[in-house]
Amino acid sequence: MTIRLYDTSARQIRDFTPLRPGRVSIYLCGATVQAAPHIGHIRSGLNFDIMRRWFAYRGYEVTFVRNVTDIDDKIIAKSREQDRPWWSIGYDNERAFNDGYTALGCLPPTYEPRATGHVPEMVEMMRTLIDRGHAYAADGNVYFDVRSFPGYLQLSRQELDNLLQPSGEGETGKRDPRDFAMWKAAKPGEPTWPTPWGEGRPGWHLECSAMAHKYLGSAFDVHGGGLDLIFPHHENEIAQAKAYGDDFAQYWVHNAWVTMAGDKMSKSLGNSVLVSEMVKQWRPIVLRYYLGTPHYRSMIEYSEESLREAESAFARIEGFVQRVVEKAGPVEPSAEVPPAFAEAMDDDLGVPQALAVVHTTVRQGNSALAADDKEAAVARLAEVRAMLGVLGLDPLDEQWAQESDRGDDLHGVVDSLVRMVLDQREAARARKDWTTADAIRDQLGQSGLVVEDSPQGPRWSLGPR
């Protein structure tokens, strides 16, 4: 058994070898909390939640760190726009992110550090880098000297002479325009912290280097984030950390975006779809299926049609689960997933191929139900539950119990009403009035209900919208 991951730094899929046998350490660039999350933000959390679950299934002890960037240029700009304290905006949106992660079934991280809680670690890192000639202070700012680090740009594979380094307002005193800010000098009305080089606030890149070092040490296994973070963020993290003396990340794993009309989903483009609104329109477990089942390196082009397709596909799985439970009672997940599923997941987290095994097993289970082979149906459900558990999509898992509970009261009312209509249909069938029976079924279908005739009598379920 060998897990293989696509390593951005190597531009190829590599066998995964942990630094410490039996343990995996993961650092994921988490939320920048200037606004509430859209589904593009949550996709990253979902992809690495599945990675974490697969490592755990394979027997690894996983330490998963997902940071919160609670101070940066964007948050300060929002503070001015809304005339609210920066910390109030950050806290509200941090809660919105956590609500989104929880709603879509992401396991909580081992540690979730905030940038503002780690200024002492940042100061210590800057002091060391200045002493070693990799950084310098100017006008209250502290900059990293990119020419002092020979390995700079190896991740993004750019040429230094062609580099256009993003710069912010007030970044004065640079020796080279390509040097980047580790610490930004105080400006009127902005939050500040004291340092030996003057009052100011952290730069975005320094935050992650310092927090990764604190929680995972000088070397760790996997650093994750979206493709848009490769440069400048991850490139600058590497420069700071390695110049400081850390080996830093051994594997760099990046997830693709959720797009709309070909553009990356982002707040600045005005094309974002907020998680808080989406969970009102779609069941959270369906959103997880939609965002989590494409390959993590594949773009997802958002559309309601594709969401409906995901809803329909998951309904087929869920329907099988419900039918077996109705027939045989509770069924525990298998101890092991089928070999074909494991092979797909080991190969760079091949969720689409793994999901194909789920659907094949569901079809086999439905065939067993049709043949009244209870034992085979139960065996297939045990396998399906094991696979869905790895993907965080098991509808019988307690993490989705709250979603089910919310609809229990309404389900009972609807069930009583539908049963009355189904009784009328059964009476029509008994007198061989097939026209009326079919008309009743069609009317229920138009209302979004699917009616299935079984040896135990008719049963109904919600169909895809």
Q: Shortest CA distance to 122 belongs to which of 41, 181, 52, 55?
A: 181
pLDDT the model gives residue 410: 47
Give the pLDDT of residue 128.
Answer: 98
> Taking a C-beta distance cutoff of 8 angstroms, is the pair 33, 75 a contact?
yes
Instruction: Name, in order, each residue with C-beta under 8 angstroms of 322's C-beta and a sequence gap of 6 or more.
Output: 395, 461
pTM as predicted: 0.88
First to last CA, the chain: 41
In whole angstroms, what is the distance from residue 66 CA to residue 56 CA? Answer: 17
How many CB atoms neighbour CB 219 within 10 A?
16
Model confidence pLDDT, tens digit, residues 113-171: 999 999 999 999 999 999 999 999 999 999 999 999 999 999 999 999 888 777 777 78
pLDDT of residue 455: 62
How is residue 70 annotated by DSSP?
A: -
Predicted confidence (pLDDT) per residue in 417-446, tens digit: 677 777 788 888 888 888 888 888 888 777
Question: Residue 413 has what pLDDT?
Answer: 55
Kindly list the averaged pLDDT for each block of 10 residues, start to end, along the chain of length 465: 95 98 98 95 97 98 98 93 96 97 97 98 98 97 97 95 79 93 94 96 96 98 97 97 98 96 76 89 97 98 95 96 95 98 98 98 97 97 98 94 54 63 82 86 76 70 61
Which residues sit opposite 28 in a β-bridge? 66, 224
Q: Do the Cβ atoms of 96 and 36 come closer than 8 Å?
A: yes
Contact (Cβ atoms closer than 8 angstroms) between residue 55 and residue 3? yes
Which SS3 state, helix, strand or coil, does residue 12 take? strand
Enumerate the H helices of 284-407 as residue ranges. Answer: 284-292, 304-328, 339-346, 351-370, 374-391, 401-406
Q: What is the Cα–Cα distance from 178 to 181, expressed in whole angstroms?
A: 10
In whole angstroms, give the CA distance from residue 65 to residue 30: 9
